[in-house]
């Protein structure tokens, strides 16, 4: 979790900007400069539906590569879906 300007924890919300269903990974538009850390987990959602979970495995300043940890989720997740940090 990152902290807002008042020092309060803020849940990280990112957009899916790339999906590779053959290799089971996705890319998010938030990275280390946004508070994302390796090992962080995310729920991937569209509207009110959770499509799967992902864990961060590699970071850049403004991008995060995540492995999908939900079987079969890679075929459901699309560019533009929302990834919301799970827990602290």
Mean pLDDT to the nearest integer, 52-73: 94
pLDDT at 73 over 90: no
pLDDT at 16 over 70: yes
Burial class of residue 82, CB neighbours in 10 A (0-12, 13-18, 19+):
middle
- Domain containing 17 equals 11-85
The end-to-end CA distance of the chain, in Å, is 6
Q: Please count the structural domains in the chain.
A: 1
Query: Is there a domain that residue 43 lies in?
Result: yes
Query: Is there a domain that residue 56 lies in?
Result: yes
């Amino acid at each position: 979790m990152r902290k807002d300007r008042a020092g309060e924890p803020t849940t990280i919300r990112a957009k899916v900007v790339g999906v590779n269903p053959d290799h089971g990974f996705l890319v998010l538009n938030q990275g280390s400069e946004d508070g994302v850390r390796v090992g962080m987990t995310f729920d991937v959602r569209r509207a009110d539906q959770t499509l799967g979970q992902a864990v961060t495995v590699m970071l850049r300043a403004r991008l995060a590569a995540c492995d999908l940890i939900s079987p079969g989720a890679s075929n459901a997740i699309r560019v533009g879906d929302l990834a919301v940090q799970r827990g602290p």
